[in-house]
Each structure stands twice: as structure tokens, then as C-alpha cells.
Structure 1
Amino acid sequence: MPWNPLKQSSRQRLDARFAGFPPADRFAVPQKGWIKAIRTALGMSTRQLGNRVGKRSQSILELEKNEALGRIQLDSLAQLARALDCQLVYAFIPNNKERSLRNIVETRARKVALKALTAVNTTMALEDQAIDLKDELRIQYYIQENLDERSLWDAKVDP
């Protein structure tokens, strides 16, 4: 069945949501973590934060340490965010410049197609019938006629 990467409405809906996001680097975790950064900016002690969530000061220090190390659980972060009168925002944002899932799929399809066409080209070159691997129409034709989304991620290509 021919594959049309543009038909995927769930991907389009997510891409529309990503389009409004500011650059992800604006949300980079502070060196000592969000909990400690927000708590200290508010002028709140670990004892005071602990009282708000029913934990001891030592537990808050441990949670701050775990967050800084990337070992904290989301439910703990959410609880502490509420206690700091903040909202926890959790998201996966595509790394590409366009912040688009469509771009991820198209890039992957292109890699898979080029790998397959390179293998074919090697064989054909032995018979003096090499193909032009820069022929964009050939690449797009291969993608539409030979690839489907279910197997796209099974192919072994460089990440």
C-alpha cells in the first residue's frame, strides 16, 4: 500500500501544537534543578517546602538532589510544583529546526530510501547501470512506492 506521510492527522495535530512552543532551550533545567531554583527564588527554606508537602527538610534536599541528577519521579515533581504554586509542564519536543514530527518521519524515510537505493546502485554499477542517488524524484518515488510507516522504524540506518 503506498504511503503518504502527509495524511497522518494525529501527527498534523501534534505538529500544530509544537509550532507555538518557544525554543526548548528556554526550558533547560537549571544546574541544581527547578525545585531548588524556584524554592530559593521564592525565599522558601527546605523546612517550609517540606511542611507544605508533608515531608522533612532532609527529604526535600534528597528530592532536589535527585532532580538535579535526573532521577526524580514525575509525581514527586508535580507535588512539589503545586507546593511552589507552579505548574509542571511535561513534553516531548522534536529536535529538528521545524519542531515537526512530519520532518522526523520524512528524514527517516529519506535515510531508509537512500540506504536501499545505495544497495541497488552498487549492484547496478557492476553492470554499468548506476543510478543517480541525488535524483530527488527517484528518492520520492521509492518512498511512496516501497515504504510504509509500520516498517519505517524497523530499518537499520544510522540514527
Structure 2
Amino acid sequence: MHMVKLCVGVSSFEELESYRDERAHWWGANYGEDVHVHRTRMMPKRREEMEGRSSIYWVIAGSIVCRQQILQLAPYTDAEGKDYCDIIMSRELTRVVPYPKRPFQGWRYLRPEDAPPDLGDAGAAGNSMEIAAELARLGLL
């Protein structure tokens, strides 16, 4: 089981890449330097089947455009006693075939058979990403 989440405040794949180095430090988390951390309010009930086997698929500008492998889902409680879930991910971002997604709050489960396929070699993806995004918007992908 995967997770899909809006990448709020991020307008492009490249912008997300630039943030991943800073995220763990924003949250005051200490999970090491080789990870990207995102904090969310709710812990997935299907945590056991996700850790180390799933990815988070990021929605940027109305389309799922990339994914990151979920390494761990760690509980976190702040100084005020509020519980959160730290999504600890691989630093590697993998582009996927863009798939349109309407806005929603929080995160949603994404079945493996519904997940968009990886785009392939990111180095050759420049124009391919734009073309694939337009085809997806037209409902042809």
C-alpha cells in the first residue's frame, strides 16, 4: 500500500528536490543525514504493511509527479502532547508518469495497481515530463 500526499507550497519537482536537504532540520528531527522527513498529523493504520515497502507519491501543481520510498513511519509527540507521524523517506526522488489529482486534505492510501509507473531515466525526462503531463491533463494517459 502506498501513500499519496499534496506537496503544499511546492510548485515544481526541482523545488521539492531543493527542500529535501532541509526538511529534517525544520522539524527538529534527528533521523540521520541520508533521509528526507515530512511530518503529518495522523499515523497510517496500515503502517506495518507500508514501512520499507511503500512509496509516498507527491502531488505537485495538480498532478502526481514523483515518489519517494518510505523507510519508516515514526510516532512523534511535541512539547504540548500532540501526536504526529514522521514519514522518513529515502532522499531519492523518482519521477513518475504524471497523473492528474484533485486537491484533498491530509494523505490518502494508493493501491499499488493504481500507482503511476516510473518515468524512467530522469536525465532524458525534460521534454518527456512536459508531454506526459499534457497528455495526462487531456485524459490520454
**TM-score surpassing 0.5?**
no
Instruction: Give me the TM-score of the superposition, normalised by structure 2.
Output: 0.25
Higher strand share: 2
TM-score relative to the length of structure 1:
0.23
Whose helix proportion is higher, 1 or 2? 1
Structure exhibiting the larger radius of gyration computed from Cα positions: 1
